[in-house]
Amino acid sequence: MMERSRSLGRANTIACKSLDVNFGRLGMHKEKGDEANRVKGCVKEEWEIDPRKLTVKKLIARGTFASVHRGDYDGRDVAVKVLDCGDADQKTKAQICSLRTAFRQEVSVWHNLSHPNVSQLIGAVMGTSEIKFQNHNGRIGMPVNLCCLVSDYQPGGTLKSYLIKNREKKLPFKNFMQLALDLARGLSYLHSKNVVHRDAKTENMLLDKNQTLMITDFGVARLEALNPNEMTGCTGSLGYMAPEVFNNKPYNRKCDVYSFGICLWEMYCCDMLYPNLSFSELTSAVLYQNLRPEIPKCCPSSVAKVMKRCWDADPNKRPEMEECRQCWRP
């Protein structure tokens, strides 16, 4: 099963177009009268935390551009997303600039969000050598020039891993309904703040000790443009990505609604998406053959109807997330 999962991951996640850099910096600078910061030659951002209080520990997951660790921040159990923001010997100035821009974009979006179904960002540090890393022997090292995003650690792990564990017996319908409601609430909240996640998938959702779902990973999220033509580019993960995004067409928050429909199917079936299709086969089938996951006959018609509406090829026919939230209210 693990080998199958890894192969799916390789086919299911694509390194898409670089993160949009036109979001702009949120950094709310303090007044110029802050003499202490001016003397140091820097102005502290409102999201910055004290790197000396942060210890990065066990590796949880590793991606192409970042790794996620368990850690400790001032006695608080945290998850730490670590981005190597620039070893001048290994990266060009353009690469370093791009990584830092991506980091600032994620922080600027995530920092202003507060909702029970959205993972809370505690803070971040950028380009510092004051962070302590603890290896498996308990020894402390201090790598240089790292950027870190710090959020509360969630012991339930990712929704993806939880669904895989329940692949044989499936989830009780009550549990499925609660997870669906949590996700609908979280995405509806993001859209109310004009934030489009753009990579809503079960790997980017965490479960706390009570199995409450929380949306995380805002690495490709951005504020929704007033003009849809300003939002283009192949961004997201294969299988969850709306056709208009695939096609590099203008898109809006309805791309998250499509992803929600796919996640509903995955939560109900506790199964893998398109396990036997290659990258090129899946791309062609979704775009030109309207391929969608097969809904089991045992699935209640009300649930199946929501899935189908959400993953409609025409974004204008998809419901708003607020309507989806209303559908799952007990």
Instruction: Decide which of 127, 152, 177 is a domain's last residue.
Output: 152
From 118, 152, 186, the end of a domain falls on 152
Task: Say how far apart CA 278 and CA 12 lie, in whole Å.
Answer: 9
Using alpha carbons only, how large is the chain's radius of gyration in Å? 20
Picking from 113, 130, 152, the residue at the C-terminal end of a domain is: 152
**What range does the domain containing 109 cover?**
44-152
166 and 307 co-located in one domain: yes
pLDDT in tens, the chain (330 residues): 444 444 434 444 433 333 333 333 333 333 333 434 433 445 577 888 998 899 999 998 887 677 899 999 999 999 998 876 655 556 677 777 777 777 887 888 888 899 999 999 999 988 766 778 777 665 565 566 678 899 999 999 999 999 999 999 999 999 999 999 999 999 999 999 999 998 899 999 999 999 999 999 877 665 554 444 444 454 557 889 999 988 888 889 999 999 999 999 999 999 988 888 888 888 888 888 889 999 999 999 999 999 999 999 999 999 999 999 998 776
List the beta bridge partners of residue 82: 67, 148
Record the pTM: 0.79
- Does the residue 295 lie in any domain? yes
323 and 214, same structural domain? yes
Domain with 170 in it: what CATH number? 1.10.510.10
Same-domain status, 110 and 243: no
**Rounded CA gap, 187 and 260, in Å?**
8
Q: Please check whether residue 321 lies inside any domain of the structure.
A: yes
In a domain, 9, yes or no: no
pLDDT at 139: 58
**247 within a domain of the structure (yes/no):** yes
Residues recognised as catalytic:
199
Task: Output the pLDDT for position 248.
Answer: 83
Q: What is the pLDDT of residue 293?
A: 95
For position 100, which CATH number holds? 3.30.200.20
β-bridge partners, 183:
none
Gap between the Cα atoms of 122 and 71, Å rounded: 13
Residues shown for the chain:
330
- The answer to whether residue 304 is domain-embedded is yes
Q: In sequence order, which residues have a C-beta less than 8 Å from that of residue 40 and are 6 or more positions away?
A: none
Q: Is 137 found in the same domain as 115?
A: yes
- In total, how many domains does the chain have? 2
Both 252 and 198 in one domain: the answer is yes
* Residue 39, in any domain of the structure: no
Are the C-beta atoms of 99 and 172 separated by less than 8 Å? no
288 and 196 both lie in a single domain: yes
86 part of a folded domain: yes
Asked if residue 35 belongs to a domain, the reply is no
Please say whether the beta carbons of 295 and 304 come within 8 A. yes
Verify that 99 and 244 share a domain, yes or no. no
